[in-house]
Chain A
Amino acid sequence: MAARSAFRRALPWLPRSPVASSLRQAHHVPSQRPFSTSLSASTPNPSSSKDPSVPDYAIPDPSRPTHFGFQTVTEAEKRERVAGVFASVAESYDRMNDLMSFGWHRVWKDHFVASLNPGFSPLGDPPRAPQHILDIAGGTGDIAFRLLHTAHVVNGNPDVRVTMSDINRAMLTVGKHRAARQLPASQQAALSFVEANAEDLTKARPLVPYPPDHSTSPDEYTGSEQPFFDPATATTGIPDASVDLYTVAFGIRNFSNIPAALREARRVLKPGGVFACLEFSKVVSSHPAGALFDAVYKEWSFRAIPLIGQLVAADRDSYQYLVESIARFPSQDEFRDMILDAGFVVAGDGYENLTGGVAAIHKGMKPRE
């Protein structure tokens, strides 16, 4: 008994239920719906009476079951666990990304931002109003920095400002330090940092200094020293129809409630504004070459990545969670349907596959009324 609780204390990512049951669940992955809607139909949410057009599953409910990798947890628990994962990987995040994708994530991000082309004006005359870009789950800043560079330098439009938002203070702090080191002053001036939960952007606040004072041991982590944003301390919010471009790269699969986040995106975007999401997706395995690539990719993901995480970042479990969350994320078509369901319109297929489907860019536009 003491041994078990000692194991759990030393490894806080252990599930409450025995691991064996969650591994058995892994075999049921294809038949389960990949997002947290199937189990909540029986419990009516009283707050849904506020807005009848918003379905139940799109309202964040802290006790609704969702998935954390291959385990089933409540939405509130998922938020805490994801916070722990990213607080622990923040320092080595960029190095691990390079090691896991052999540097290819840079190509994906470059292509993502180039295809969005922020700050571009076809007639050569910049738009009158300043453009506002919201980068959600911005973390260490890869996308925000590229957006600023493309807008200010490549397109010569200094009227573009970027708000970098993340629920995790540790990641956002790493991003802030990188910005101070890498960006020229004009771009730094156009960049602001905000802690927010993407499922409820009415509550947000400027970045709080992190990490907390190390005089307290990690065992005595109090609520005020959480590594992630607590909406009770919100001091501002992102207003309706205030954002021209909403980007989220490699973040949305970690959200507790994706439909809620999509609806928040629709709320903050201006009519005609663009929602763009870069995320891992399902490898296209209809072709035999694709099936072989998929098998190799899975072996790499589930065998090598947690091992590299252990050797480089001293954290096997966070990387095990990361690869499991990739496996649990909906396919390209399913995610496109979720985007349509949230009220966006898409062009063509609505997505573009990268590297044979390892990643995909989804774009949607908030319709003009």
Chain B
Amino acid sequence: MEVTLKRTAALVARNPLQQHAAAALAAAQHQRRRPFSFSSLTRPPPNYPGHVPLSPVERAALVVGAGLGSLFNPYRGDLIAIFSEVTATPYFIYRLRDAMLASPTGRRILRDRPRITSTSLNLPRLRSLPEGTVGRTYVAWLDREGVSPDTRAPVRHVDDEECAYVLQRYRECHDFYHALTGLPVVREGEVALKAFEFANTLLPMTGLSVFAAATLKPSERRRFREIYLPWALRNGLRAKEVINVYWEEQLERNVEDLRRELGVEPPPDLRDIRKREREERRKKKEAEAAAAAAAAAAASTASAAEAAAAAGSV
């Protein structure tokens, strides 16, 4: 982009009649100028507290490093977070921010900038809400999974300050998406939820995380292919933008109402399916063990009978 502008400016400047155009072009070039590759001693000033602007080389290195690192060690949530930040630009985080701006609730969220941390939600109050409310469903999901709300790592590598908040909001609402869909925190559930999030928010990290399905067991992969991926794509594409849900205001609302309004239908309960499969496997193993024991017992009685007959004949 810069090179084209420079060449155009040089060509235009040769013609004295277009000097004013050349001046305008030079001004535009200077304005649009961002150092292609800056040294960290001359890193541009941050746009918000904690902001670390990255050069393209650093960005590429983090895409590869954080992507591979989080694929091979899914417990490194910080690498997943960084991966989401460095792949969010260009285009995708701006599209999400524009989707927020296009909705009145989204605009209110961007103005209020609410934050969800480990201490911002009053869990006992949510537990006291009536059955079937969003807040109660959320706490029930937390209890079922045995997790508590985390303070998510702050966004550091998104250059635009508003887009940094949009990504932060997405990160903090992730547990609410879990509660909305009922998916558990096991790897299978997370991959299914990421597929849903990709279809809905179009963030590259969510889409690329679906490749983590390759690390699932064969039965899990089959389930994902047959049930959860179609569910995720169908619901993610059909549903309204979940980023625009003002969760703090929706806590006392009926969760089915919210699901209907958004256009999300919960998938088959994954924990139940897994439990049933485990039960079947265990029963099969027990049956096999019983059959083996019976066969061994039969064999031993047969050999004992032979030995007795041999002894008797002697």
Interface residues of chain A, those whose CB is within 8 Å of chain B, are: 2-4, 6-11, 14, 18-20, 23-24, 26, 298-299, 301-304, 306-307, 310-311, 314, 316, 327
Contacts and interface: CB of A to CB of B under 8 A. Distances in A.
B44 to A, nearest CB: 9
A4 B66 CA distance: 26
Nearest to B41: A302
B39 A8 contact: no
A306 B82 CA distance: 13
B66 A8 contact: no
Interface string B59-84: 00110011001000000101100100
B115 interface: yes
A2 B115 contact: yes
A9 B52 CA distance: 17
Nearest to A303: B40
A3 B66 contact: no
Interface residues on B, range: 20 to 34
A11 B50 contact: yes
User: Main secondary structure on chain B at its contact with chain A?
Assistant: loop
Nearest to B116: A6
Nearest to A2: B115
B16 interface: no
A19 B46 contact: yes
Interface string B32-59: 0000000111010110111110010110
Interface of B: 39-41, 43, 45-46, 48-52, 55, 57-58, 61-62, 65-66, 69, 76, 78-79, 82, 113-115, 117, 151-154, 156, 165
B58 A307 contact: yes
A2 B76 contact: no
A19 B53 CA distance: 12
A255 to B, nearest CB: 24
Contacts of B57: 303
Contacts of A19: 45-46, 49-51
Contacts of B153: 10
A310 B115 CA distance: 24
Given A311-B65, A314-B76, A10 B58 contact: no
Contacts of B52: 316
A20 B46 contact: yes
Contact of A310 (B40, B82, B113, B165): B82
Nearest to B52: A316
B46 A302 contact: no
Nearest to A29: B41
Contacts of B69: 311
Contact of B49 (A2, A8, A311, A316): A8
A366 B154 CA distance: 50
Contacts of A327: 41
Contacts of A307: 58, 61-62, 65
A311 B79 contact: yes
A2 B113 CA distance: 9
Given A7-B154, A19-B45, A316-B52, 13 more contacts: A2-B115, A3-B165, A18-B49, A19-B49, A20-B46, A26-B41, A299-B39, A299-B40, A302-B39, A303-B39, A310-B82, A311-B69, A311-B79
Contacts of A314: 76, 78-79
20 contacts: A2-B113, A3-B113, A6-B151, A6-B154, A7-B50, A7-B154, A10-B151, A10-B153, A14-B50, A19-B51, A23-B46, A298-B41, A299-B39, A301-B40, A304-B61, A306-B40, A307-B58, A307-B65, A314-B79, A316-B52
A9 B118 CA distance: 11
A19 B49 CA distance: 7
A337 B302 CA distance: 96
A10 B154 contact: yes
A324 to B, nearest CB: 10
A88 B58 CA distance: 23
Nearest to B82: A310
Contacts of A316: 52, 156
Query: 3 tightest CB-CB pairs across the interface, nearest first?
Result: A302-B40, A311-B65, A20-B45
B41 A7 contact: no
B49 A14 contact: yes
Nearest to A20: B45
A307 B39 CA distance: 13
Contact of B39 (A23, A298, A306): A298
Contacts of A4: 49
B55 A303 contact: yes
Nearest to A305: B40
B154 to A, nearest CB: 5
B62 to A, nearest CB: 7
A310 B62 contact: yes
A297 to B, nearest CB: 12
Nearest to B44: A23
A18 B48 CA distance: 9
Of listed A3, A11, A306, A327, residue having the most chain B CB within 10 A: A3
A280 to B, nearest CB: 16
A218 to B, nearest CB: 11
A147 to B, nearest CB: 35
A298 to B, nearest CB: 7
Of listed B49, B55, B165, residue having the most chain A CB within 10 A: B49
A24 B61 CA distance: 27
Contacts of B39: 298-299, 302-303
